[in-house]
Amino acid sequence: MSVVVRGIRRADQSTVDGLAALGVATIHEAQGRTGVLDPRLRPIYAGAHVGGSAITVRVPPGDNWMIHAAAEQCRPGDVLVVAPTAPSETGYFGELMATAVQVRGVRGLVIDAGCRDVAELTTMGFPVWSRYVSAIGPVKQALGDVNLPVVCAGVLVRPGDVVVADDDGVVVVARERAEAVLAASLERERREAATRERYRAGELSLDVHGMREQLAERGLTYVDGQPPDDH
Amino acid sequence: MSVVVRGIRRADQSTVDGLAALGVATIHEAQGRTGVLDPRLRPIYAGAHVGGSAITVRVPPGDNWMIHAAAEQCRPGDVLVVAPTAPSETGYFGELMATAVQVRGVRGLVIDAGCRDVAELTTMGFPVWSRYVSAIGPVKQALGDVNLPVVCAGVLVRPGDVVVADDDGVVVVARERAEAVLAASLERERREAATRERYRAGELSLDVHGMREQLAERGLTYVDGQPPDDH
Amino acid sequence: MSVVVRGIRRADQSTVDGLAALGVATIHEAQGRTGVLDPRLRPIYAGAHVGGSAITVRVPPGDNWMIHAAAEQCRPGDVLVVAPTAPSETGYFGELMATAVQVRGVRGLVIDAGCRDVAELTTMGFPVWSRYVSAIGPVKQALGDVNLPVVCAGVLVRPGDVVVADDDGVVVVARERAEAVLAASLERERREAATRERYRAGELSLDVHGMREQLAERGLTYVDGQPPDDH
Amino acid sequence: MSVVVRGIRRADQSTVDGLAALGVATIHEAQGRTGVLDPRLRPIYAGAHVGGSAITVRVPPGDNWMIHAAAEQCRPGDVLVVAPTAPSETGYFGELMATAVQVRGVRGLVIDAGCRDVAELTTMGFPVWSRYVSAIGPVKQALGDVNLPVVCAGVLVRPGDVVVADDDGVVVVARERAEAVLAASLERERREAATRERYRAGELSLDVHGMREQLAERGLTYVDGQPPDDH
Amino acid sequence: MSVVVRGIRRADQSTVDGLAALGVATIHEAQGRTGVLDPRLRPIYAGAHVGGSAITVRVPPGDNWMIHAAAEQCRPGDVLVVAPTAPSETGYFGELMATAVQVRGVRGLVIDAGCRDVAELTTMGFPVWSRYVSAIGPVKQALGDVNLPVVCAGVLVRPGDVVVADDDGVVVVARERAEAVLAASLERERREAATRERYRAGELSLDVHGMREQLAERGLTYVDGQPPDDH
Amino acid sequence: MSVVVRGIRRADQSTVDGLAALGVATIHEAQGRTGVLDPRLRPIYAGAHVGGSAITVRVPPGDNWMIHAAAEQCRPGDVLVVAPTAPSETGYFGELMATAVQVRGVRGLVIDAGCRDVAELTTMGFPVWSRYVSAIGPVKQALGDVNLPVVCAGVLVRPGDVVVADDDGVVVVARERAEAVLAASLERERREAATRERYRAGELSLDVHGMREQLAERGLTYVDGQPPDDH
């Protein structure tokens, strides 16, 4: 049975936008080193950085019909998250569909498969994080689902979860934890700013973080001169 | 036996140039979703877009001697298509060879192996679509063939076929079908332009293409609220 | 036992800088087509080109503690070379650590694993050659070694060896051979400049290098017209 | 925070055993073509076929400490399901741990990483489905979780879900749906037995399933003789 | 347009059977080191060795409908060769379809995608060479072609070409060349038998094939003792 | 310059044979979790287990000439270790060469490339650990080196080092450390035997190794019942 779920819950837009302004690596750390999608998903152009509420789409291999159905469920501030039911290198998404969803305020696409028209998407400023760039076009013959939970690039994404993507990749934050993760991320940024200043001043991380003793305790030894031949 | 075939037939230059101005994805669709090379072939820099008649080269693993032999067979408007007889990550092609073929009017290179000197090739404006960027250099010790049919990145390319490449990848059009594919591609572009306008005006593809009924017939169901926990 | 070796020998800085100004492909050829790291290592931004003396680091999977220990051993003109003891897609290195080592004069990082904060690293002009871009963060719990020989991306790198990296990848030159390889590389560049001029003037490599006779001897045959159907 | 959840719910053992007797492909079809883990997971020996209730384990890269913690939570009829928090080729599991869990009635292991001691595991009859066979050993230094939901090889597995594995791979059935999927699988087997008899008698699937008309409607055409040269 | 070509030409059955008795490596050498499919195609069980006339099938990603249509075109002594139009890890083929084509005398399947039911196929003695073993099932919704030329795993296969497969992989012989390749293969086997006897008697290949002089001419040098440290 | 080094030093045969009787995983642990080659190297048949002194061979891509030169340097108890100078999927080694080296007492081959004739090699009982099985044959046209240090599948192997290979993969032990590693391996086996007995008796590793306190200290928490929905 194929389903489109309407009227999903989303996180507060201010929380979403707060997360959207932060880096993927920071959010990942702040929520306990979880939620990063497989690094094989790469942005189609450098410098893209978006965040939004996930509209999730399950698509059959090589078939993008359900992305059309998903477009209607999108609101300004959303991000499309598309997972094929079997691995696929098809280019599911291009400039025409981007036009259709960009006018609805969709901020970007995350897809564990291929996308195409990357020159046009770059010009439009519609970012995509995909596993492949592939000119191979999809068909429209089989059903899937919209707004059911999906596993995308190895991570569970539920509709309404917050998705943030930048040059480092893509991270998902559970909707219920979005506010807490935002707070933890901001706190982490503050701490890092202080560290950065000390590093810029020439201090070593060994000293800033008191690592020397810990390393010695674990058994780290310092020797002088070239390493022995018998390594 | 190793062979260089001279004086191959090419498509009309105006047809070649017409196809060269179109996108790879469009041509692929217009000829029935065929002809796209493996998406692992990627351009060495963004924004490159060329088309031309294929000069095909079969090379032994790690050996680029036959590309030198192929250079003599090139005319303005040609594109070199190189396939190794066994998979290879060697950088078969660099700035020196690009210099030699660019003066003969060659528009670019498609190679199911490695290329190198990508900084220099970018400066020269000589685009390459390759599977690897690799500084590992080739030798010149074994023969191959020039202008026999090759399978390059999973697709049959015959000498004189039309090859078009852009940011989305590479597509091949059989020489005999070039004119027909050009016409079908232009027709497709016209249709897409009309669709694009309706999308920009905010219409949904579900409505523009009358998909609602088809989806319902296949059994698509709409439900409201969050998805059930048992997914 | 974990070890940090202090006070390693380096090549003369003028030799290092001489090699740093040359291309990876050139150096590779000049030292007998050896020393290139696996082409899966790619720069995080185009146009980066550095060379320096290797500070080598062995890290456990997912653990970057030893890079902190390595930072103290770095001098201006060094390049960090990091190899995990088991394959890992973790993002071991980001903007904070780059800040810490950039103030010490480190020129770049080569890592057979992941790196992150690529937008910030690009802004800072701190280049990294890595196998992955990955937001997944490391822990700091287990020891490794600094300045022991490592195999990085398939190639042996000893502390103090010269590492050069550009858009084509990464090459290693043994410290003891650095001067000789520099001389051979410069000689190679001179020869190539002469060849380039002849290519630009329209000469064919077949003639410039006297290949016609060699090819004929090996059995290369020229035929006219289309290739036969039975290929 | 790291957690071990005790006393998870499991499906009825008779239902689990019913599913364990069926093929992975059959179950996958019967639950709507879902639930199959990435095909890169392969059995370490041919002919293994098990099913059981999932004990789920999240492990850091290269660290198997939590599998030790998980062993205590296992009951007869369970299957261990291990997912690393970052991709890893470490051999997390070998003959010693297999000895420890086999005496507790564990039927097998599914791991999206490496395993080792495959000769001994084969002799013991303890099957493992893994992404790699790898002699690289793990450490015991960092925490993870036991019996929280995991994404393993691209599929969500919750503790107590039913996992079935055979020569074709691994499939997961949600605990709540286990009974229904068992019934649907048995029904599917009955239908397939009837089809098999007709195929054995020489009937064509085109006729058994009435496909001729459907194919013709979609536009399939029959032509005689060799295909045209222009394919 | 989708097409099924009926009544294709095949090579003489005696020639086909002669080739079927030979090894893939031998045939590959005998026809000038060409025709081997990508080594990622592997047999589902060890010891399988078949040869036959190719019935070629182009299938959409994840859709096996055309294999049903192809079954009708098979005759005793044929081998099915299936290529997806876009890369796919779906398990297109299982025990039921094997039953249907085995009664028609089909000797095996070569598929550049997934297959399933490998335990049952092994029991039946129906060998498959596939890129993946995958329990993920196909749909039956879209058309392809039967008996048009296909590129399968990087090699052109035309209907009626001879396909031979063993533990080393798969090789294709053009129908028109089958007889000549058979003769060359047998001649090669005779030569190798003589060489084998000399090797068994303890002679070195350097002497049997007179390589010492050639190696010396090219510059090979012999030195005694351990290699120098500076390698 | 190409070189064959004659008369290399080997470890004591009794030490080599002692290591050859041990498992790869055990040796790897005993020498500090180092020395395992990339897990992509797999044995061509199950159950093979050999150890010997390394004869190292550097081969150009697709060219096996130097393996012929290496054969002469082999003594009973040796293992051939072959590394291509650029990645290659060619089948460098088959039954004929195995015949030639088996009569000289060579125990097996480790190759970071392809091998072929696997059915014949299995019958002969000549084991190979390779990255690919590939029917694609090599040429004999270019030189390499014999008995210089090589990096094979990511690990440095020097001539005369001890190589052990089994179903888990391949490990290298530096010649100078062979005796010490043998002793450490045997000690490790003794400890493991004791642990095995306790596991067989039903004890948990948590208790056998006193892990409970360590886990609690690090912060591991036990909770009862199903995991919360918000994972």
> What 3 state SS string does chain E have?
CEEEEECCCCCCHHHHHHHHCCCHHHHHHHCCCCCECCCCCEECCCCCCEEEEEEEEEECCCECHHHHHHHCCCCCCEEEEEEECCCECCECCCHHHHHHHHCCCCCEEEEEEEECCHHHHHHHCCCEEEEEECCCCCECCCCCEECCCEEECCEEECCCCEEEEECCEEEEECHHHHHHHHHHHHHHHHHHHHHHHHHHCCCCHHHHCCHHHHHHHHCEEEEECCCCCCC
Euclidean distance between CA atoms E219 and B153, whole angstroms: 36
pLDDT of residue F227: 60
D48-103 confidence digits (pLDDT tens): 999 999 999 999 999 999 999 999 999 999 999 999 999 999 999 999 999 999 99
Q: Kindly list the partner chains of chain D, i.e. chains with 3 or more CB atom pairs below 8 Å.
A: A, B, C, E, F
Residues of C with CB below 8 A from F154's CB? Answer: 151, 154
Q: Is the pLDDT of residue C18 over 70?
A: yes
Euclidean distance between CA atoms E100 and D5, whole angstroms: 49
Kindly report the average pLDDT of chain E as a whole number: 96
Euclidean distance between CA atoms D115 and B79, whole angstroms: 48
Of C174, C230, C231, the CB nearest to E230: C174
Euclidean distance between CA atoms C160 and C12, whole angstroms: 10
Of B177, B230, B231, the CB nearest to D230: B177
End-to-end CA distance of chain D: 61
pLDDT of residue B225: 80
Residues of E with CB below 8 A from D206's CB? Answer: 68-69, 71-72
Distance from CA of C181 to the nearest CA of B (A): 16
What does each of the 231 residues of chain A score in pLDDT, given as a tens digit? Answer: 799 999 999 999 999 999 999 999 999 999 999 999 999 999 999 999 999 999 999 999 999 999 999 999 999 999 999 999 999 999 999 999 999 999 999 999 999 999 999 999 999 999 999 999 999 999 999 999 999 999 999 999 999 999 999 999 999 999 999 999 999 999 999 999 999 999 999 999 999 999 999 999 999 999 998 665 544
CA distances, F23 to each of A120, F43, F45, F48, F173 (Å):
56, 14, 16, 11, 13
Nearest residue of C to residue B113 by CA position?
A: C39
Euclidean distance between CA atoms C129 and C82, whole angstroms: 10
Q: Kindly list the partner chains of chain F, i.e. chains with 3 or more CB atom pairs below 8 Å.
A: A, B, C, D, E
- Between chains, do A143 and B225 touch, taking CB under 8 Å as contact? no
pLDDT of residue C75: 98
Q: Which of C134, C145, C173, C154 is nearest to C56 (CA)?
A: C145
- Between chains, do F221 and D4 touch, taking CB under 8 Å as contact? yes
Rounded mean pLDDT, F165-174 = 98
- Between chains, do E119 and D192 touch, taking CB under 8 Å as contact? no
- Between chains, do D154 and A154 touch, taking CB under 8 Å as contact? yes
- Between chains, do A69 and B227 touch, taking CB under 8 Å as contact? no
Distance from CA of C190 to the nearest CA of A (A): 36
Nearest residue of E to residue A60 by CA position?
A: E62
Contact E35, E152 (CB under 8 A): no
CB neighbours of residue E18 within 10 Å = 20
CA E96 distance to own-chain centroid: 23
pLDDT of residue F197: 97
Residues of A with CB below 8 A from F177's CB? Answer: 230
Q: What is the pTM for the complete model shown?
A: 0.95
pLDDT of residue A133: 98
Torsion angles phi and psi, residue F67, rounded to 5: -70, -35
Q: Is the pLDDT of residue D172 over 50?
A: yes
Contact F200, D103 (CB under 8 A): yes
B81 secondary structure, DSSP code: E
Q: Is the pLDDT of residue D231 over 60?
A: no
pLDDT of residue B203: 96
Q: Chain A interface residues facing chain E, Cβ-Cβ under 8 Å? A: 60-63, 85-90, 134, 136, 139, 141-142, 229
Contact B205, A98 (CB under 8 A): no
| pLDDT level of residue E230 (50, 70, 90 thresholds) | very low
E205-226 confidence digits (pLDDT tens): 999 999 999 999 999 999 998 6
Kindly report the average pLDDT of chain C as a whole number: 96
D175 secondary structure, DSSP code: G
Q: Is the pLDDT of residue E152 over 90?
A: yes
CA F98 distance to own-chain centroid: 18
- Between chains, do A221 and C45 touch, taking CB under 8 Å as contact? no
Euclidean distance between CA atoms C56 and C73, whole angstroms: 10
E76-106 confidence digits (pLDDT tens): 999 999 999 999 999 999 999 999 999 999 9
pLDDT of residue A42: 98
Distance from CA of C35 to the nearest CA of B (A): 9
C166 secondary structure, DSSP code: E
Rounded mean pLDDT, E40-44 = 98
Euclidean distance between CA atoms A136 and A138, whole angstroms: 7
| pLDDT level of residue C230 (50, 70, 90 thresholds) | very low
What percent of chain C has pLDDT above 70? Answer: 97
Give which of B2, B90, B132 to mutate to test F binding, by max F Cβ within 10 Å: B90
Q: Chain A interface residues facing chain D, Cβ-Cβ under 8 Å? A: 1, 32-34, 38, 85, 87, 149, 151, 154-156
Rounded mean pLDDT, F170-178 = 98
User: Cα angle at F207 between F204 and F212, to 5 degrees?
Assistant: 115
Euclidean distance between CA atoms A93 and A103, whole angstroms: 16
Rounded mean pLDDT, F106-111 = 98
Distance from CA of C218 to the nearest CA of D (A): 33
Structure tokens at F130: 């390779």
Contact E51, E164 (CB under 8 A): yes
Contact F118, F45 (CB under 8 A): yes
Q: Kindly list the partner chains of chain A, i.e. chains with 3 or more CB atom pairs below 8 Å.
A: B, C, D, E, F
Task: List, for chain B, all residue ranges whose pLDDT scores fall below the cut of 50.
Answer: 230-231
CA distances, A57 to each of A63, A109, A204 (Å):
12, 11, 47
Rounded mean pLDDT, D204-218 = 95
B50 secondary structure, DSSP code: E
- Between chains, do D85 and A34 touch, taking CB under 8 Å as contact? yes
Q: Which of A55, A57, A56, A61 is nearest to A142 (CA)?
A: A61
Distance from CA of C88 to the nearest CA of D (A): 6
Q: DSSP secondary structure string, chain F? A: -EEEEES-----HHHHHHHHTS-HHHHHHHTTS--BPPTT-EESSTT--EEEEEEEEEE-TTB-HHHHHHHTT--TTEEEEEEESS-B--B---HHHHHHHHTTT--EEEEEEEE--HHHHHHHT--EEEEEE--PPPB-----EESS-EEETTEEE-TT-EEEEETTEEEEE-GGGHHHHHHHHHHHHHHHHHHHHHHHTT--HHHHTTHHHHHHHHTEEEEESSPPS--
ipTM of the predicted assembly exceeds 0.90: yes
